Structure 1
Amino acid sequence: MANLNLKSLIPLNFMGNQPLIFICIVSILIGEYLLATVLNYLNSKRFNDPIPEELQDIYNTEEYNKSQQYKKTNYRFGLLTSTFSLVLILSFVVLGGFKEVDNYVANTFEAPLLQSLLFFGIIMIGSDLLSTPLAYYQTFIIEEKFGFNKTTVKTFFLDKIKSWAMIIVIGGIILSLVFKFYQWAGTNFWWYTWILVAAFILFMNLFYSKLIVPLFNKQTPLEDGELKWKIESYAKKVGFELQNIFVINGSKRSTKANAYFSGFGKEKRVTLYDTLINDLEDEEIVAVLAHEIGHYKKNHIVFNLIISVLLTGFMLFLLSLFINNPSISMVIGVERPSFHAALIGFGILYSPISEFTGLLMNYISRKFEYQADNFAKYTLSASPLISSLKKLSKNSLSNLTPHPAYVFMNYSHPPLINRIRNLKA
């Protein structure tokens, strides 16, 4: 393997700068894998660091040992899954997997649109099928071992089938429209695609909880009682109109707790996991919601929506510059330029830019988390939010001593110790 010549793996009909692009694609894939592996290794070396004094009350000795085992198990499993993913994609690029799929769809349909739909359907669902054993192991071995899993085998596979159905229906409709825009407007298709994707992002922000969540979970209005009264009283106090408070049966799949805010205007709603209600006291739940309302009051949700739309437009503009370049299509091993092959090639080439924008968005997100924490602190109290964060970390066996480099690259939320110090400041 030390004498591997990448140029010898490139089809003979490649011309121009295709070998350079091919080497760039392989380098990107390997480089991202190595970066993630190094960061995970650095993070794992911090697993045994002393717990900060402010967090000493989270775990007793037995619970701390359990959290250590959970982190180490997930670290080893993550290394396995990332290596598997790298080998899979490199095999498809180098050994002609994309070419075989492309030849199959070309022999199955004459219409380019149908070829693209079938191509992406095979790639996406096929990739998910290949990774299903790993997902099954993580759910029914790792999560089960540490007491988190509540998913049944039936639910696991029903979720898969529902996800595939959504990919086929929603993905198929969007891809078909994008392809039609491309046929009609040429390289200017990106304008129309941008409008379509922006409308879809807005629609999903408004109606995801109402239309998509019920396909997987049951949502019921929060019953009248002390908790609902406290939530509504706080919302009224801070001038937050709140009519929809729902409880979702998160315990159907896991013991881990969560809460989230979604929608705008009359469609905004707060959703509480039933596990959150079981794990926290009423004041702590109100504190968690105060944090979420803080995001809304500080316009974080609108900001993230706008940035998401702008980044999508930037990506589509770059795509329009490369979509007609035969090298982008053929560099993944296919024998004929095509719309779907160009999308795959461009997606890989764009990933370093995606990594950079993701890094920037994580940085902004961590700033927003501090602002939302401060909103909860000043409009309610720091104490119940601190105790809720500690309980949630304990119940999910969170890493209390992450490596700073890993946090910088991957965390959308500040580490627990940083949040608590900010709340106590």
Structure 2
Amino acid sequence: MLAYHALFVVLVVGTELFFAGLSIVNVRYGARTARARSDWMRETLGVEDVESVLDYQRARVGLSLLETATTLGFLLLALYSGVVTDVVVALTETGLSPLLQGIAFVVLALLATRVLGAPFDLYSTFVVEEAFDFNNQSPALWVRDYLLGTVLSLVIVGGLAAAVLWFVENVQYWPVAGWALVVGFSVAMLVLKPRVIDPLFNEFTPVEESDLRDAVDEVFERAGFRCEQVYEMDASKRSGHSNAYFVGFGRTKRVVLYDTLVESMENDEIQAVLAHELAHWKRKHIPKFIALAAVQFAVVFAALGYLAGQPWVFDLFGFPAEATYAGLFVAVLLVGPVLQLTAPLQNYLSLERVIESLPREAAGFGNCVQQYQRPARRSFGRRLLECGGYRDSTVVRVS
């Protein structure tokens, strides 16, 4: 059993240490690059204080690493102190069916995760974002978002977990059924999330006939992209960050512009942003991500199906053999790190260089940097702006 414990610790802790190291290396590389190209950033983008960019990145990454370490520490403490085992044993003694026991276990795990993450979200919002003049969110709105987010997590994740646990108890090839459910749900969420969930947090106002709508339609027409649903979102009530995104597919496609973007940019600058997003559409990134997710979930459920039948998975922390959900919990912890190691492939697809010819083809721009110079003088950040292409990331504003 010692060998299995070693495997568990190496996978769970080792993977987190590996990615923490990568994050630190990335921050250091970004700092060296930004300082080396400070003249270019100042002359081309109008960024006078490069150190502010680096301070923001360090603050965000540092807080994320601290949250990961804290969460991992509490998880290991709960497992090796016997707390999780006591909870599982207590659930088995309630006389509830295995399905209801599993649902209760998932609910407790979700609540613990939300409670543990709350202080970090508070610090991120009211300390880090506030310090860099991004936060517009009131404490009351934060509480509302937190409670609503908790309810949605319980409903969505709890519902999916309940369905998978039912498959385990009633379907012979439950990994196949579970895979089909999760993949189908992921595709459905591309349509349902912007229509059902997002409006619970933000207001979406249709962009009617106006100079802005004419500019949006113009760039769409040049790219051969059809989309009737264009909305402006009231992002400013929470943050000063700007963004625009496409979501959905087929007739369900919609374009969302943050109101911060509309207020801070001219129409031709917004066209440049949309041209970049259209490049993702032209490269069919959404179908690629769906296909990649389907493959990843197939690997995950195949591994879960195997591990759920291994006695050592239950013996690792003294879980009763009849508590299938507890064995699946350990299996998920073992499979999760392996799934994380596919992140480089995901990053390759998401950060695939969008060559300048695509934005030019979409919006008729001769040079992508020139179109971004004016908004960049009001914004800076971890967005790579080069003549050959640029990469998505958070945009940071300097007052």
- Per the normalisation by structure 1, the TM-score is 0.83
Q: Which runs of 5+ in 1 are unaligned?
A: 1-17, 400-414
Give the conservation status (yes or no) of the 8 Å contact 2:234–2:258: yes
1:167–1:60: structure 2 CA closer, same or farther, 3 Å change rule? closer
CA contact (8 A) 2:230 2:255 kept: yes
Any conservation in 2 of the 1:284–1:385 contact (CA below 8 Å)? no
Per mean C-alpha deviation after superposition, the further-off stretch among 170-179 and 264-273 is 170-179
Alpha-carbon distance in 1 for matches of 2:387, 2:84: 49
Task: Provide, for residues 130-163 of structure 1, a one-character-per-residue CA deviation record: whole Å limited to 9, x for no partner.
Answer: 2211211111111111101111111111111111
1:370 and 2:354 correspond = yes
Partner of 1:45: 28
Secondary structure (helix, strand or coil) at the match of 1:370 reads coil
Residue 337 of structure 1, CA deviation: 5.0
Q: Is the 8 A contact 2:223 2:363 kept in 1?
A: no
2:85 and 2:319 in contact (8 A); partners too: yes
Asked if 1:416 corresponds to 2:380, the answer is no
Deviation at 1:259, TM superposition (A): 0.9
Q: Determine the C-alpha separation between the residues in 2 that align with 1:381 and 1:236.
A: 11
Percent of aligned positions that are identical: 25
**Conserved 8 A contact 1:242-1:269:** yes
Which of 189, 199, 213 does residue 184 from structure 2 map onto? 199
Query: Which residue of 1 is the match for residue 135 of structure 2?
Result: 149
The reply to whether residue 217 of structure 1 matches residue 185 of structure 2 is: no
What secondary structure is seen at the aligned counterpart in 2 of 1:33?
helix
What does residue 340 of structure 1 align with? 325
Q: Distance in 2 between matches of 1:30 and 1:179?
A: 27
Aligned to 1:235: 220
Residues 231 and 255 in structure 2, CA contact (< 8 A), matched pair in contact too: yes
Worse-superposed segment, 267-276 or 161-170: 161-170
CA drift of 1:382 comes to: 4.4
Residue 341 of structure 2: SS of its match in structure 1? helix
Contact 1:244 1:269 in 2 (8 A): yes
Residues 70-104 of structure 1, C-alpha deviations (whole Å, 9 max, x = no match): 23333443342232122112212221232132133
For 1:122 and 1:299, how far apart are their aligned partners in 2? 39
Matches within 5 A, 1:131-146: 131-146=117-132
In structure 2, relative to structure 1, the CA distance for the partners of 1:174 and 1:275 (3 Å cut) is same
| CA 1:335–1:36: 2 relative to 1, 3 Å | same
Are the counterparts in 2 of residues 323 and 343 from structure 1 also a CA contact under 8 Å?
A: yes
Alignment partner, residue 111 of structure 2:
125
How far did residue 60 of structure 1 move?
4.2
Q: Determine if contact 1:284/1:387 at 8 Å carries over to the other structure.
A: no
Q: Which residue pairs with 2:54 in the alignment?
A: 68
Q: Using CA pairs under 8 Å that are at least 6 residues apart, name the structure with larger relative contact order, 1 or 2.
A: 1
2:342 maps to 357
Give structure 2 stretches of 5+ with no counterpart. 391-399
Which residues in structure 2 correspond to 1:228-267 (within 5 Å)? 228-267=213-252
Following superposition, the deviation at residue 395 of structure 1 comes to 5.9
Distance 1:387 1:272, change over 3 A: farther
For residues 32-55 of structure 1, what are the alpha-carbon distances to aligned partners after superposition, in whole Å with 9 as ceiling and x for unaligned? 232233223323434253225543
Alignment partner of 1:116 is 2:99: no
> What does residue range 305-320 of structure 1 map to in structure 2 within 5 Å?
305-320=290-305
Quote how far apart the aligned CAs of 1:305 are: 1.3
Matched-pair contact (CA < 8 Å) for 2:167–2:178: yes
Distance in 2 (CA, whole Å) between partners of 1:217 and 1:133 is 23
Please give the secondary structure, in 2, of the residue aligned with 1:39.
helix
Against the structure 1 CA distance between its residues 80 and 201, is the aligned structure 2 distance closer, same or farther, given a 3 Å change threshold? closer
Q: Which residue is 1:78 aligned to? A: 64
1:271 aligned counterpart, secondary structure: strand
The offset of 1:26, in angstroms, is 1.2
TM-score, structure 2 normalization: 0.89
Q: CA RMSD in A?
A: 2.4
How far apart are 1:194 and its partner, in Å?
A: 1.7
Q: In the superposition, relative to structure 1, how do residues 329 and 397 fare at CA in structure 2: closer, same or farther (>3 Å)?
A: farther
Greater mean deviation of Cα atoms: 330-339 or 313-322: 330-339
Number of matched pairs: 386
* Change in 2 beyond 3 A, CA 1:380/1:176: same
For residues 89 and 355 of structure 1, do their structure 2 counterparts lie closer, same or farther at Cα, with a shift above 3 Å needed?
same
Asked if the contact 1:96/1:334 (under 8 Å) is kept, the reply is no
* Contact persistence 2:319–2:327 (CA under 8 A): no
Quickly say closer, same or farther: Cα 1:286–1:25, change in 2 above 3 A: same
Q: Are 1:287 and 2:287 counterparts?
A: no
The SS at the match of 2:257 is strand
SS of alignment partner, residue 246 of structure 2: strand
Letter in 2 for 1:184: N
